[in-house]
Amino acid sequence: MSQEIIEVTEETAQQGVSRRNFIKGAIAASAAVSSTNYLFRSNGGTVLAQTPAAGAVERLITVNVNGRSRRIEVPPMETVATTLRYKLGLTGTKIGCDRAECGACTVLVDGVPHYGCSLLTHSVRGREVTTIEGLEAEDGTLHPMQQAVLEEQGFQCAFCMSGFIMNSVALLNDNQSPTRKQAAEWLSGNLCRCADYDKILTSVMRAAEITRGA
Amino acid sequence: MADYKLLGKNYRTPDLYAKVTGRSKYAEDHRAEGMVFAKLLVSPMPHARVRSADTSAAEALPGVLGVLTPDDLPDEVEAPNEAALTWEPKYEGEPIIAVAAVNEQIASDAIELINLDLEPLPFVLDPLESLRPDSPNARTDGNTTVGREIATIKWSASDLAGLASGEIPMEAEAAAEWSYGDLEAGFAEADVIVEEHSYNQSTSHQPLESRTTMAYWEGGKLYVYPSVQSTARSVGPMARWAGIEPSNVVLINEFTGGGFGGKISGYVHAQIPILLSKKISRPVMMRISRREENAIGRARPGVQARIRLGMRSDGRITALDVHGVGEQGPYGRSGDNMNVAGIGSLCYQPLACRMRGTNVYTNTPPKGPQRAPGGVQSNTMLEPIIQKAAKQLGLDQVEVHKINAPEGQAKFGAPGRDGEQGNVSSAFAREAIDKGAELFNWTERKARSGQRNGSKVTGIGMSLAAYSAGASGVDGLFVLRPDGRLYIQSGVGNLGTGSTFDTMRTAAEGLDMPWDKCEVAWGDSSKHLPWSCSQGGSSTTHAHTRANWAAVEDAVQKIKEIAAGDLGGEADDYEIGGERVYRSGNRSQGLSFARVAQRAIDLGGKFDGHELPEDINGMTTASATALAGQGLMGVAKDNYAEGGRRMSFVAGYAEVEVDIETGNIRLVDYAAGSDAGTILHPKTYGAQIFGGAIQGFSVALSSKWVYDRRWGLAVAKRFYSNRPPGILDVPHEQPMKWANADLPDPFNPLGAKGIGEAAQGAGSASVASAIADALESLGEGNGDFHRTPVTRDMILTKLEQAPIGHDRLTAHV
């Protein structure tokens, strides 16, 4: 919290709120005036062509995204979710909390589900990142999990959907015959605020059926 | 139930493919050439006055394009409404100044350079605190509203004399009051009277998509990409915030990531990117963080109440007396607290009822409607009291609800000016109770109440919930074109509940069109959409089946007239079916719909939309005028008889397992029976029943705000500390079950009512009831929580009979 922001006066001090105490209290309550949460430091990107932020050192790295090798300039603190959304135009990956609480940003890295909001892009150099946009085959054939959601009318607002689908894809790669309980445990790191969990699990069960049948 | 070709059948909504492939665009997914980013400087204090703000260093930072302060807002808003930015923040996290920069890092750096001189002002977090003598007010102009006026209510020392701390004086001054029947006689007739204090915590909406908004101006028009619950109803507010005519607003929002009542017709903070983009002549994206959403996103008002309920030995509820105090936050007006008896009087039909209450301003985030406003609080607070009375009389909870259930056009709520209560359009509550009891196997399950399994105790509970289920008076609009396809216009908005599309199938059903020959236009005000209800308050299903049916009747008449004109005879000689109009009894003598559409264009006038009904909304007139000449137009206002307020009913049934060693509550099973008339789409219907119930589970079990009382600052402001239920928190090993009474509402041409609202109170109240049932089996009084959410520490404290450390009604602990 920046010290310039609060200036406590004689009157307020008399009311028992000294500047020092207020700041202590604010820290204790984990409040802060700063806006520097949930921001991205995009610069020199291909989508937005922003000017670089002062002091940020960009590096050109290669990441394989949805089967294509992508050369991107990335500052050290940029997350995978930001890179996908603001450098590569892949907005199917959503940012719901930006703090690894909701799972909306889940993507696969070498087949393993990760929260894209909490993974630095530099850490996936040379690795394979798969997003919701990468599930569809070239001929338009959908992944069994996508197909199952269509059949079951899964999800409501669907802001959480791509995260759930990516995590379910990882589940089905691991286990083609999960029980509802196993699927629920696997998906427990994803939040659906519309709480459409019943249809989500039914979709996963259907996707497993399609996968086994294929 | 009528035999429909489309209604009542499962199908794939037309928005789903874009969602599963990641092509759907939510507010933050839009881009515009030259787009820059806004960040907010928000208040670090619960109540303060900004004495001075120096933005010069921020503005001088390279990359900063401009700032927006409260001085840049065109008009001062009328109290108690809120402004987008303010020099007198009244809650922690309230926006003061916005900065636009080429990226968010620079915008944030600039915010750190703003020198703000704040004078802390007195603040109050707990409504009861503000009603005590000599206590602070959250607003400098008062602590409540009486009628439309801001006022101050303070209880006197004598009101509170004789009461323990944390008790509400039943007869002390209240901002509002209504009653019906003879309350004294009602209590005199009762064989059991239960009197309790109860507290239902404020819970935030927390849609997964925050209220992010992007805006730009082009050719004098505003293009705004918000996250709202209505396309048609958000255009007006956006225009007002922009200071322009609605016809100059293009609002694009095809996919909304949840709202639950918090984004109904927009939100005032959309004004920030709207005005910033105008000021700096660049598109502005204002991303709202989870923490910001927790502050500026809405929340359900908490309610603290004293409740007295009388029940006769036969189970009939003879009297209900409630004094309810609501928590409003610092802005606006809500009636949630008054709904405790409002909804109570509907669900339980007490012979006499009185509701007194005051909605109090606090320095916590602003409150607004959340899924069944006041209804969830009512059902959750009253159910354990009804259950307690029933137990004392040795009566079965289900039987008690059936005895008291409303039926037909039941009356409820506050009497109107004429002294008469309003009534519902239909109530098949008993049928809903029976459906649920059968699914849940209530009688057998009930025997498991109090069963021990090691340290775990089983509890069985149920509830009957009700809430509004439909608006009326909106417009239907579609065009049958010469390509043989039906183009249906929807201004509803798209939260993914399905009703946006489900109700458009009414038009296809009425014209006997195959659904794959129908297109729905939605989510973009430039697509010529009709005046529609918002996708809130479970309005849509009822409102837009009515409106589209009215348009169907209009279109069918026009189609028959065209056939009669071309083929002879009278319009009444014709009927429609199989994408044709034909002479009754002679299918070969007729015209294809494609031909009819072409003939409508040839004929012009009313047939193709060049002449329009006079009673449709101006927005519909403008849209229909733009679509005129493209084919045969169906356009009409819903003028069907109303018959009363549309209300739907859900009976929720829950089994829980409470671990008395850890305090953990496991929800074992949940089932629901409902009365919502004709079901349009079973899969989306079930999603409302369960989604609503699960949001109710969080009211009963997990969602609450906790405040640092000394500094007035929130300590629970993220998902992990104010947690919505996750997938493991709900019954998941088997699919949950629901059943509907399937009795059509007589005041809807298709019998349909909405369902989303009532579903939530059923979930929260049945779980609260099941927890009380489990703990009551361990000893009398152990189930007396009368506070939600019920958390582990509360259970352990209760069983240990340890002091709870605060008054029974203390807020935000």
Q: Over chain A, what is the mean pLDDT? A: 82
To 10 degrees, the CA torsion angle through B360, B365, B371, B376?
-50
A50 with B102: Cβ contact below 8 A: yes
- B356: enclosing H helix or E strand: strand B352-361
Angle ∠(B722,A78,B64) on CA atoms, nearest 5: 90
- Contacts with B112 from chain A: Cβ below 8 Å: 2, 4, 34, 36
- Please write the tens of the pLDDT for every residue from B250-299: 999 999 999 999 999 999 999 999 999 999 999 999 999 999 999 999 99
* Residue with tokens 């619960």, as numbered in its chain: B46
| B501 close contact with A: CB closer than 8 A | no
CB contact under 8 A, B108 and A34: yes
Dihedral angle of Cα B258, B260, B263, B264, to the nearest 10 degrees: 120
CA A32 to chain centre: 24
- Asked if B160 and B169 touch (Cβ cutoff 8 Å), the reply is yes
DSSP annotation string for B137-153: -SBTTBSEEETTEEE--
CB contact under 8 A, B732 and A41: no
Handedness of CA A15, A16, A21, A22 (dihedral sign): negative
- The set of residues, in sequence order, having a beta carbon less than 8 Å from that of B490 and lying 6+ positions away, is B231, B500, B501, B503, B504, B520, B521, B522, B529, B530, B532, B544
User: What is the Cα–Cα distance from B610 to B631, expressed in whole angstroms?
Assistant: 11
| A31 — pLDDT class (breaks 50, 70, 90) | very low
Closest of B532, B545, B523 to residue B475, by C-alpha: B532
- Tell me if A191 sits within 8 A of B744, measured CB to CB: no
| Angstrom distance (rounded) from CA B431 to CA B668 | 24
Query: What is the residue whose two structure tokens read 């509360």?
Result: B794
Task: Flag whether residue A42 sits within 8 Å of chain B, measured between CB atoms.
Answer: yes
Give the separation between CA A134 and CA B179, rounded to whole angstroms. 61
3-state secondary structure of B456: strand
Number of CB atoms found within 10 A of residue B626's CB: 13
pLDDT band at A14 (very low <50, low <70, confident <90, very high): very low
B666 part of contact set with chain A, CB < 8 Å? no
On whether any CB of chain B is under 8 Å from the CB of A36, the answer is: yes
- Distance between A75 CA and the closest CA of chain B, angstroms: 12
**CB under 8 Å to B444, separation ≥6 — which residues?**
none
Measured in whole angstroms, how far is the alpha carbon of residue B653 from the centre of its chain?
A: 22
Cβ contact, residue pair B686, A158, below 8 Å: no
Yes or no, beta carbons of B724 and A191 under 8 Å apart: yes
Q: Answer for the pair B601, B621: CB distance below 8 angstroms, yes or no.
A: no
B102 touches chain A (CB under 8 A): yes
User: Given this model, what pLDDT does residue A27 score?
Assistant: 40
Question: In angstroms, rounded to a whole number, what is the distance separating the alpha carbons of residues B710 and B620?
Answer: 53
Pair of tokens at residue B107: 């915008």
Of B39, B691, B714, the CB nearest to A39: B39
B152-204: per-residue pLDDT in tens?
A: 999 999 999 989 888 999 999 999 999 999 999 999 999 999 999 999 999 99
Beta-carbon contacts of B257 under 8 Å, excluding residues fewer than 6 positions away, are: A94, A157, A158, A159, B26, B207, B208, B209, B227
Amino acid of residue B57: A
Report residue B583: phi and psi, to 5°.
Answer: -70, 135
DSSP-derived pairing of the beta strands B586-592 and B303-311: unpaired
Output B579-582 pairs: Cβ under 8 A, ≥24 positions apart.
B579/B484, B579/B512, B579/B513, B579/B514, B579/B517
Cβ contact A135–B209 (<8 Å): no
Q: What gap in Å lies between CA B420 and CA B441, rounded to an integer? A: 39
Residues of B in contact with A104 (CB under 8 A): 208
Regions of chain B short of the pLDDT cut 50: none
Q: Are B559 and B551 in contact (CB under 8 A)?
A: no
Nearest residue in chain A measured CA to CA from B116: A5
CB burial of A162-173 (b: ≥16 within 10 Å; e: otherwise) equals bbbbbbbbbbbe
Restricting to B residues 279-318, those with a Cβ less than 8 Å away from any Cβ of A are 287, 289-292
Note whether B412 contacts A: Cβ–Cβ < 8 A: no
- How would you class B418 by CB atoms within 10 Å of its CB: exposed for 0-12, middle for 13-18, buried for 19 or more? exposed
State whether residue A148 sits within 8 Å of chain B by CB: no
Strands A106-109 and B36-42: unpaired
Mutate to test the interface with A, among B17, B19, B102, B703 (most CBs of A within 10 A): B19
Tokens 């479970």 appear where?
B538
Q: Residue A180 above 90 pLDDT?
A: yes
pLDDT of A18: 42
Query: Of B17, B208, B666, which to mutate for an interface test with A (greatest number of A Cβ within 10 Å)?
Result: B208
Question: Does residue A58 have a pLDDT over 90?
Answer: no
- Smallest Cβ–Cβ distance between B20 and the set A29, A33, A165 belongs to A165
B388, B582, B731 from A167: Cα distances, Å:
45, 54, 20
Whether residue B706 lies within 8 A of chain A, CB to CB, comes out as no
CB–CB contact B22 A162 (8 Å):
yes
What is the per-residue pLDDT for A57? 76
Whether B724 and A192 have beta carbons less than 8 Å apart is answered as no
- Say what the pLDDT of residue B165 is: 85
Token readout for A67 is 């089967």
At B114, the amino acid letter reads I
Which residues on B lie below 8 Å from A197 (Cβ)? 690, 694, 727, 730, 732
**Which amino acid is residue A104, in one-letter code?**
A
Pure H helices in chain A: 10-14, 19-28, 80-82, 144-152, 161-174, 180-186, 197-213
Please report the pLDDT score of residue A41 as a whole number: 41
Residue A141 class from Cβ within 10 Å (0-12 exposed, 13-18 middle, 19+ buried)? Answer: exposed
Inter-residue contact B539 to B259 (CB < 8 Å): no
- Return left, alpha or beta for B58; rule: phi > 0 is left, psi -120 to 50 is alpha, else beta: alpha
Q: How many angstroms from the chain centroid is the CA of residue B594?
A: 41
Residue A54: what are its φ and ψ, rounded to 5°? -60, 135
Torsion B343-B344-B345-B346 (CA) sign: positive
CA-to-CA dists, residue B799 to B88, B768, B803, angstroms: 45, 17, 11
Task: Compute the 3-state secondary structure of chain B and give helix, strand, coil in percent, each to the nearest 5.
Answer: 30, 25, 45
Instruction: Find the length of chain A.
Output: 214
Q: Provide the token pair at B774.
A: 């489990």
pLDDT at position B75 is 80
| A:57-116 residues touching chain B, CB 8 A cutoff | 85, 89-99, 101-102, 104
Q: For tokens 């881009």, name the residue.
A: B31
Tokens matching residue B119: 């004078």
| Contact check, Cβ <8 Å, B255/A157 | yes
pTM of the model: 0.94
Burial B150-181, CB ≥16 within 10 A → b, else e = beebbbeeebbeeeeeeebbbebebbbebbbb
State whether residue A182 sits within 8 Å of chain B by CB: no
Contact between residue B584 and residue B575 where contact means Cβ atoms under 8 Å apart: yes
B26/A159 Cβ within 8 A: yes
Q: For residues A5 and B44, is the Cβ–Cβ distance under 8 A? A: yes
pLDDT computed for residue A53 by the predictor: 52
Residues of A in contact with B763 (CB under 8 A): none
Identify the CA nearest to A144 among candidates A206, A66, A67: A206
pLDDT (0 to 100) of residue B599: 98
**Alpha-carbon torsion (A130, A132, A138, A143), positive or negative:** positive
